Amino acid sequence: YYPRVSLEVNLTYVTVPPNTILLVVDDDEYNYVDYGVAPEVFITAIKDLGYNIYELRESEKGNPPLSLLLSKNVSVVIWHVGTYYSYAVENTDAANLINFIKNGGRLLLEGEDIGYNHDNDQFMTDVAHATFLADSVKANITALKPLHPVLNGTEQLTFAETPPYPDGVNATNGGVLIAKYSETDYGCIVVYDGVALNENNGAKVVYFSFPLQYLNSDQRTQLIRNAVKWLLTSYVYNSSTDSAKYSLKSWVKVMFSIRNGTEALTGISVSAKIYFPNGSLAGEISLVDDGTNGDENPSDGTYTGMFHVEEDFPTGIYTAYIEASIPNYGLVKDKVEFNVIEKVEVSISLSEAYVENGTVYIKVIISCEGGVVEGAEYSLNSSPPTPIPSPEDGAYDEPKETVVVLINGTELSDGYYVVSTRGWSQGTYSQWLNVSIRVRTLGPRYHLVALTLKPIGEYNASDLARAIGPPLSAVWKWDDEKQEFIVYIPGVSGPEKDFEIVMGEGYFIYLREEAKWIEVGYP
């Protein structure tokens, strides 16, 4: 006999067409306030973006499987919780969303009690990229980063009705807080960009810790559109200038770099408006990516424009507001600030100094705030300065240049010397940077030697050998603990045999022939 059992299973298998925005309405929790969810506000906002919209109500179709979230036909997932709680985004959904983000998912996450229910668990860290701070923050919204594409210039957001219990949060784990509740320390909009961070397979998240249906309708529609459009793209961009400070009568190089995923985005229109410290317009410039107008490399995704600081311009902080027009997307906006000062400031610092085969190498970094380094010179024992023809990169044309002073110590008589170096720009000089050298002539065979100048950095037996060169056969130090000599032989001993040469202690060396030992350091 074969048993016959009547078995009924209700399964909902969901398939969606390509280019679908999946709207998950998380309405299967136990409790909600007011009317709970309002999926129509999302549909109204995105219906004309050119994507299919599939609404999945969990109260009717259950939890969407990970396979649906990761379907190649799903472009963005909107997870709408509204005012539902206990438990907002329950464990199965939370686990699926964690894996969704790990696999490069694009997610708009919204709800006022997500943080309250999850506190600071893995879901909040890895999906929302936020930490929960407070429940029921009653205030409108102020932008912290109004130029972010999700806000796109909006400074304030206003609630048409006060939400019941909106969460106050902060960003974590790569998230960025772009808006907070006005006159509070609590955030409410967090974005995460795995494309820019090169992690989570390019996942992107926008997390709203309040129910969007309570916002002013026009602002709400634009905010949802902005968020979804940002999630649908992989644009990464930043703005910069070639220096932080500029003097009057100098040129400011303004740069805007943009890529789509890993590819440079070329052929777009980019412009900038420059504003004086008082907020009035100083000028407008176009930024190009064609190798002209200060642009270094054509078609590399870096757009460049030049702005001239006139002699009668005020000093202070200037702001460049940049707009890039991307076809089929719209405008992206950014800004960069720079400081205009009355005259340039030139400084100098020591990078390194050493001796090799009797030649002294002194490497310095010259920095110019407000302009570019125009030259450098050095003097030996207060002699008339000798110009240094070029920096390491070949030309004096940047705000920071590395310059090397070379002195052939084998041509110097024994004794102490001071090498002084300085740089300049627009008639303004840095201070002199002074480094001492000592020259000693040593005959062949054994010598007991000691340092007379404080070395620049750690000075080892290998440095002593490099300073003297081929005439030196070996360096010995006495080990008090072992009661024996330790030897370093150039070209034979490995790094583990090297030892530090300490001021105040003596060391034996052996020379095959007469040689000069030259120290470089401080008295």
| Domain end residue (candidates: 233, 265, 282) | 233
Residue 112 has pLDDT above 60, yes or no: yes
Do 369 and 330 fall into the same domain?
Answer: no
Is 294 part of a structural domain of the chain? yes
Q: Averaged over 5-30, what is the pLDDT?
A: 78
Higher pLDDT, 197 or 153: 197
Q: Averaged over 71-85, what is the pLDDT?
A: 98
Q: Is 389 exposed, middle or buried (0-12, 13-18, 19+ CB in 10 A)?
A: exposed
Do 280 and 179 fall into the same domain?
Answer: no
Do 223 and 363 fall into the same domain?
Answer: no
- Confidence band, pLDDT 50/70/90 cuts, at residue 7: very low
pLDDT, residue 226, reads 97
Do 150 and 221 fall into the same domain?
Answer: yes
Q: Which domain holds residue 461?
A: 439-522
Is 7 part of a structural domain of the chain? no
CA 97/CA 2 separation, integer angstroms: 44
Residue 271 has pLDDT above 80, yes or no: yes
Of 459, 465, 475, 362, whose CA–CA distance to 419 is shortest? 362
Q: Averaged over 260-278, what is the pLDDT?
A: 98
Which string of DSSP letters, residue by residue, matches 452-464?
-SEESS--BHHHH
pLDDT in tens, 198-250: 999 999 999 999 999 999 999 999 999 999 999 999 999 999 999 899 999 99
CA 245/CA 343 separation, integer angstroms: 10
- Confidence band, pLDDT 50/70/90 cuts, at residue 87: confident
Do 114 and 48 fall into the same domain?
Answer: yes
Q: Which residue has the tokens 């450098």?
A: 376
Structural contact between residues 128 and 205, judged by C-beta atoms closer than 8 angstroms: yes
pLDDT, residue 13, reads 67
pLDDT, residue 461, reads 98
pLDDT, residue 12, reads 57
Is 207 part of a structural domain of the chain? yes
Instruction: Name residues whose C-beta falls within 8 Å of residue 93's C-beta, 6 or more positions apart in sequence.
Output: 26, 58, 63, 64, 79
3-state secondary structure 71-112: CCCEEEEEEECCCEECCCCCHHHHHHHHHHHHCCCEEEEECC
Is 162 part of a structural domain of the chain? yes
Number of domains in the chain: 4
pLDDT in tens, 142-185: 999 999 999 998 999 999 999 999 999 999 999 999 999 999 99
CA 133/CA 119 separation, integer angstroms: 8
Structural contact between residues 389 and 352, judged by C-beta atoms closer than 8 angstroms: no
- Confidence band, pLDDT 50/70/90 cuts, at residue 400: very high
Residue 187 has pLDDT above 90, yes or no: yes
CA 111/CA 255 separation, integer angstroms: 38
Please give the structure tokens belonging to residue 318.
């200037």
- Element of type H or E holding 471: none
Q: Averaged over 403-431, what is the pLDDT?
A: 96
CA 522/CA 148 separation, integer angstroms: 51
| Domain end residue (candidates: 438, 473, 504) | 438
Residue 1 has pLDDT above 80, yes or no: no
Q: Which residue has the tokens 């401080």?
A: 522
Do 455 and 503 fall into the same domain?
Answer: yes
CATH, residue 265: 2.60.40.1930
Tell me what percent of the residues of the chain surpass a pLDDT of 90.
93
Do 431 and 459 fall into the same domain?
Answer: no
Is 14 part of a structural domain of the chain? no
CATH, residue 432: 2.60.40.10
Do 62 and 94 fall into the same domain?
Answer: yes
| Domain end residue (candidates: 438, 472, 493) | 438
> Residues, the chain, total?
523
Is 410 part of a structural domain of the chain? yes
Structural contact between residues 39 and 212, judged by C-beta atoms closer than 8 angstroms: no
Average pLDDT, the chain: 95
Tell me what percent of the residues of the chain surpass a pLDDT of 70.
98
Pairing mode, strands 204-208 and 187-193: antiparallel
pLDDT in tens, 467-480: 999 999 999 999 99
Do 242 and 168 fall into the same domain?
Answer: no
CATH, residue 141: 3.40.50.880
pLDDT in tens, 327-381: 999 999 999 999 999 999 999 999 999 999 999 999 999 999 888 999 999 999 9
Number of other CB atoms surrounding residue 521 within 10 Å: 18
Q: What is the pTM of this model?
A: 0.78
Do 265 and 377 fall into the same domain?
Answer: no
Is 2 part of a structural domain of the chain? no
CA 109/CA 128 separation, integer angstroms: 7
CA 75/CA 78 separation, integer angstroms: 10
Q: Averaged over 78-107, what is the pLDDT?
A: 97
Residue 5 has pLDDT above 60, yes or no: no
CA 113/CA 37 separation, integer angstroms: 13
Do 410 and 473 fall into the same domain?
Answer: no
Q: How far is CA 238 from CA 304, 333, 334, 400, in A?
A: 12, 10, 7, 22
Do 377 and 490 fall into the same domain?
Answer: no
Which string of DSSP letters, residue by residue, matches 135-158?
S-----EEESSTTSTTTTT--EE-
- Confidence band, pLDDT 50/70/90 cuts, at residue 261: very high
Residue 9 has pLDDT above 50, yes or no: no
Is 12 part of a structural domain of the chain? no
